[in-house]
Amino acid sequence: MRRIGPTDCLEAKGNRKLVMLTAYDFPTAKIIDQTYMVDIILVGDSLGMVVQGKPNTLEVTMDQMIYHTSIVSRATKHSMIVGDMPFMSYHTSVEDAVRNAGRFVQEGGANAVKLEGAGKVIEKIEAIIDAGIPVMGHLGLTPQSINKFGGWKLQGKTKDDAKKIINDAKALEKAGVFSIVLEMVPAELAEEITKQVNVPTIGIGAGPHCDGQVLVLHDVIGLTDFSPSFAKQYVNVGKSIEEAVSRFASEVKEGIYPDAKHSFSLTKEE
Ligand code: KIV
């Protein structure tokens, strides 16, 4: 089975919902990939928060992103791998943007990259696409601008703000992105954008009308202390790990583990 590509995503619009999840390590990326139900795995800079325990995504570096992207791409065969370009990796110049996007492909094995925002970012997106690297856009609550927004707040609430996000989505489409993430915007606005652009929208906290949905894996499986209200937890892996650790510790303390079955012996055939 071949990998999902940008054309598959474009063809999905209006035909089937796209599914995207984040992953940052080998075992979870492999599990996600082997379901054959997830179109895109995003190696998100959210790793700064859910893996590194930082308050936001701003300190994540290119080297860290490349490290995690190479692990995830090695673990997968089916899902498209999108590398999330971190803060300051594409803001300084078009040249830096293309070079860093290229690193995601050459060193990380990514199939595409994601950049936040429009405006001055558009020329960088065009140059990256010119270099043959597919780009995913990201609008609404773009976490790398958290200081500008003054917190994790719903975006596009006023008429003017909504209009700006619609125009930004059209500019991204014109620049050639193969999909657009819409994060924390009202469902009505996401629906309008989904109607007005021909590329698929992928929502996170953007209601049910997008062409696809994305969540952070750690929110889905219960591995975070705090989850945003739009995220749905399907299992509580955190609780299972806690139980396993407690049982192991108790068995060690009580001399139950290791038993004969879990030991080597000169008198037992291996
Ligand atoms: O970094 C990330 O995980 C993301 C998703 C929330 C879309 O950008």
pLDDT at 270: 58
Question: Is 116 close to ligand 1, i.e. is its CB under 6 Å away?
Answer: no
Say how far residue 133 (Cα) sits from the centre of its chain.
Answer: 17
Count of CA atoms in the C-beta half-sphere (13 A) of 38: 25
The span from the CA of 29 to the CA of 54, in Å, is 22
The span from the CA of 232 to the CA of 219, in Å, is 7
Find the 218 Cα to ligand 1 centroid distance in Å: 12
Find the 46 Cα to ligand 1 centroid distance in Å: 6
* Nearest residue to 23 via CA among 89, 78, 86, 71: 71
144, 114 contact by CB (below 8 A): no
110, 136 contact by CB (below 8 A): no
pTM above 0.85, yes or no: yes
Name the residue with the closest Cα to ligand 1, atom 4: 44
Tokens of 184: 């924390």
Catalytic residue among 116, 173, 183, 192: 183
pLDDT digit of tens for each residue in the chain (270 aa)?
799 999 999 999 999 999 999 999 999 999 999 999 999 999 999 999 999 999 999 999 999 999 999 999 999 999 999 999 999 999 999 999 999 999 999 999 999 999 999 999 999 999 999 999 999 999 999 999 999 999 999 999 999 999 999 999 999 999 999 999 999 999 999 999 999 999 999 999 999 999 999 999 999 999 998 889 999 999 999 999 999 999 999 999 999 999 999 999 998 665
**Catalytic site residue 270?**
no
Question: Is 137 close to ligand 1, i.e. is its CB under 6 Å away?
Answer: no
What are the C-alpha distances in Å from 110 to residues 8, 64, 167? 16, 14, 28
Q: What is the 3-state secondary structure (H, E, C) of 37-78?
A: CCCEEEECCCHHHHCCCCCCCCCCCHHHHHHHHHHHHHHCCC
What are the C-alpha distances in Å from 177 to residues 103, 139, 148? 19, 12, 25
Find the 183 Cα to ligand 1 centroid distance in Å: 9
pLDDT at 225: 86
Reported as type and span, the H/E element at residue 105 is: helix 94-106
194, 211 contact by CB (below 8 A): yes
Q: Residue 104 is which amino acid?
A: F
